[in-house]
Amino acid sequence: MNDLNQQNSGFNVLWLQTGGCGGCSLSLLCAESPDLLTTFKGAGVNLLWHPMLSEACGSEMLELLERVLNGEVRLDALCIEGAVLRGPNDTGRFHILAGTGKSMLAWVRELAEKARYVVGIGTGASFGGITAGGSNHTDACGLQFEETQKGGVLGADFLAQSGMPVINVAGCPTHPNWITETLMQLAMEELGADDLDDWQRPRSYADHLVHHGCPRNEFYEFKASADKPSDQGCMMEHMGCLGTQAHADCNTRLWNGEGSCLRGGYSCINCTAPGFQEPGHPFMETPKIAGIPIGLPTDMPKAWFVALASLSKAATPKRLRENALADHIVVPPHQGKRHPHE
C-alpha cells in the first residue's frame, strides 16, 4: 500500500470489482505506448488500490477503505468494474465484501458519496451488461443506468462531488486506452459533462463509429458481403455486424496495436451500448424484413440505403465480388500499364 503522504498527493484512484469477470482489468494491463504504470506516473495518477495490481490485501485494504470514508484519504476517482448485484430485495447480500459483513452494494454507495468522480469501467458497471442478462436473478445493474433506463445503483439524479454524473467507460471489455485517457483527462480537469454523450460515455471514443477504419470498408461500399466467418467481405448484410451503429473507435485505436473484432474476423456486436447482450437474435446473424437488414447505419434513411445498395451491387467490381466470398485474395487489384516514359 502507498504511504499516507503519497495517498494525499496526485490524483487518487480506487478500483473495485463487483459482479463481473475481471475482463476490463485484464484489458487495462495491455495498455501500451507507454505501459499502464508509466502512463499513470506521468499523469500523476496514484492507484490507491486495485485487486490485480496492489500488494495490500485483507485488513490493509479494509483499513484503506475506512480511511477514505472518514476523510483521511482523499478519493478523486472511484472506479467500479462489473455490474453491481442488488439482490436479494435490494440488500446486496449476493455479494458481500469479504471480512466486512457488508455488501458491495453498500460499499459502492458509501464510497461514491466521497468521490470527486465516479467511473463505470466496462458495460457491466455502466448499464448492467452480461451480468444483468437473462432473468437477472441477482438483480444486477449499472451504477446510474439499468440498461437504457436512468437510475441504477446510485440513482438518476446522482452527482459526484465534482458535479459530474457517473462516467461510463463502456465496452465489454473496454479498451485500455479509453480508461487511461479518461483518468488522465480527469486528473488534468479536462473532462466535463459536455464531453460525455447521451449514455454518459466519453466522447473521445464514443463520437466515433466502429465502422470508421474498418478494413472491410471497400466491401461495404459495394455491398460485397460475406456469407461465413472466414470470408473477407462485409459482415453487415448477412452476419450481424453492427459496426455502422456502434459508437467506438476500435478500428482506428487498435487493440494491442494491431487488432479489433472485425480484423479478427468477428462481427461487431456493439458492446459499448446498453442491452447489447440480448439483441433478440444470434450475434452472427442479420435480421431482415423483406430482405432489408433491420440494423441500418445510424444516420441513413432506409430508402436511401436500399437505393444506394442496389446501385453499389450493380457496380461491384469482379475483384471484390470474388474476394468477398474467399478467405484470401483471389483476384488482386488490377495493375495498370506503366506510362511509356517511366
Mean pLDDT of 112-138: 97
Phi, psi of 16 (to 5 degrees): -125, 150
pLDDT, one tens digit per residue, over 196-209 is: 999 999 999 999 99
What distance lies between CA 86 and its chain's CA centroid?
Answer: 22
Give the start-to-end residue ranges of the domains of the chain: 4-206, 208-331
* 48 vs 46: CA distance, rounded Å: 6
Domain 208-331 has CATH 4.10.480.10: yes
- The residue assigned the cell 452494494 is 105
pLDDT at position 1, please? 44
CA dihedral sign of residues 79, 81, 83, 86: negative
> What counts of helices (H) and strands (E) characterise the chain?
11, 13
pLDDT at position 337, please? 65
pLDDT at position 304, please? 64
pLDDT, one tens digit per residue, over 263-318 is: 999 999 999 999 999 999 999 999 988 777 777 777 667 676 777 777 788 888 88
pLDDT at position 139, please? 98
pLDDT at position 177, please? 95
pLDDT at position 340, please? 53
Q: Could you tell me if 320 and 277 are in contact, meaning their C-beta atoms sit under 8 angstroms apart? A: no
CATH of span 4-206? 3.40.50.700
pLDDT, one tens digit per residue, over 150-199 is: 999 999 999 999 999 999 999 999 999 999 999 999 999 999 999 999 99
